[in-house]
Copies of this chain bind each other. A is one copy, B any other.
């Protein structure tokens, strides 16, 4: 598995573009991703009861397992916009389909930005002409830029694998800097591959990899109305079909997983106001759900996150977050490390010197390791600290 450039245009016969159509006050705000060939397609969407119009539309279209293009805009979420919102999303897809010369059902839609305001369809429609004209084999970076909101940097990742001598690529772009719903920082992720794979197989690989990456990612515990992860696979690599349970599937699954992990970590690192990236690794849990609950409880604790911002090895707050997680926990079996410094050994504080305990807290990346000592399941949560700037960004943003 080899890292390659290009993100969503790393795979063969995918093009992309990112242009300005004038929704945001500045910067590019309209992206198109397009495949020369029909694709197997799968998606994972927010479980929030208030789903935005593009989520409803794309989710329904993905029932077919087929797609060829994605139109995504930033600056307006097309959420809480009722019937009109759905009509607007359809109109955007229809215009794109027209310009691309494909069936409208093959166009997916995603939006991120302000809520409750009507989608500026005219701006998007006229922008689409330029966006389709600008489609390029190296357009992944431009597309990554055009979907940004409070992000401070574009997020791309792609890998190349070899299946029976054929080179296959999987790559994606992502935006998000907090589960900052629903105004400015929805998590959107688009992944492409030139693998040949059935939609049902693709769906399974996507679902398990999203569970271990984006579903273990938290900046502030909030979940947007617009979150989505969409993957398209066009088969252009000419590889033999990837069937479940085969070594090819394992390799593809790992590559897709790595793309998801890279992008999820990139979101945590770009968390609003973040000064530190944090991984909470829980092992020894009685079940996977326990491991994830414990890891997410630590990653979501404002007390833990502010202590990390303050560079304070406040292990009591970590134990407390584990204890309230609902996971099966036996205090006398629980061990804890900051970086490679053991803090608690099977329930007993090891009485580590404060300077030594503090050392891992001074780095820009912190690993908190928890061993529940009860079983063989593990999970890792990806997050960041909670700083003054998180409060500033979210208090000062005005509707």
Contact = CB atoms under 8 A, between A and B. Distances in A.
A79 B398 CA distance: 42
A26 interface: no
Most buried by B among A182, A320, A348, A390: A320
Nearest to A386: B391
B50 A323 contact: yes
Contacts of A367: none
A312 B397 contact: yes
Interface band, chain A: 35 or more
Nearest to A224: B320
A303 B48 contact: no
A253 interface: no
Nearest to A185: B303
Copies of this protein chain in the complex: 2
Interface string A40-63: 000000011110000000000000
A42 B40 CA distance: 62
Given A312-B395, A395-B310, A180 B323 contact: no
Contact of A317 (B183, B324, B392): B183
A335 to B, nearest CB: 13
Interface string A299-323: 0111100110110111111011111
Contacts of A392: 388
Contacts of A109: none
Interface of A: 47-50, 79-80, 82, 114-116, 180-183, 220-225, 300-303, 306-307, 309-310, 312-317, 319-324, 329-331, 344, 347-349, 354, 386-388, 390-392, 394-399
